[in-house]
Amino acid sequence: MQRTSPASAAVFLVLCSAVLFSVGVAAAAQQKRARVAKPVVAPEGVQVLRDLEYVPSGHERNRLDLYLPEKATRPLPVIVYVHGGGWTRGDKTNGPAFPFAAKGYAVASINHRFSQHAVFPAQIHDCKAAIRWLRANASKYGLDPDHVGVWGSSSGGHLVALLGTTAGVKELEGPGGNAEQSSRVQAVVDWYGPTDFLTVGAKDTRTNLLGGDPQENKDKAVKASPMTYVSKDAAPFLIMHGDKDSTVPISQSGTFAQALQQAGAEATFVIVKGAGHGGPLFTSSENLKLIEDFFSKHLTTSGAGQTRRD
pLDDT in tens, 117-163: 999 999 999 999 999 999 999 999 999 999 999 999 999 999 999 99
d(CA 149, CA 168): 17
Instruction: Tell me: pLDDT of 32 over 70.
Output: no
Among the listed residues 178, 196, 140, 174, the one whose alpha carbon sits nearest the alpha carbon of residue 309: 178
> What is the percent of the chain where pLDDT is above 90?
81
**Helix, strand, or coil here: 110?**
strand
Per-residue pLDDT reduced to its tens digit, 188-208: 999 999 999 999 987 899 999
Q: What is the DSSP letter of 212?
A: S
**First CA to last CA distance, the chain:** 88
Alpha helices in the chain (DSSP H): 6-35, 122-136, 138-141, 155-165, 204-210, 218-223, 250-263, 285-299
Sort strands 187-191 and 76-82 into parallel, antiparallel or unpaired. unpaired
Among the listed residues 124, 130, 136, 117, the one whose alpha carbon sits nearest the alpha carbon of residue 160: 124
Strand partners, 148: 78
Query: What is the reported pLDDT for 306?
Result: 54
Mean pLDDT, rounded, for 33-60: 81
Among the listed residues 186, 206, 225, 177, the one whose alpha carbon sits nearest the alpha carbon of residue 80: 186
Among the listed residues 94, 97, 157, the one whose alpha carbon sits nearest the alpha carbon of residue 123: 157
Mean pLDDT, rounded, for 59-79: 97
Q: Are 102 and 43 in contact (CB under 8 A)?
A: yes
Tally of CA atoms within 13 A in the half-sphere of 137 that contains its CB: 17
Q: What is the average pLDDT score of the chain?
A: 89
CA distances from 214 to 119, 127, 142, 241 (A): 13, 22, 42, 23
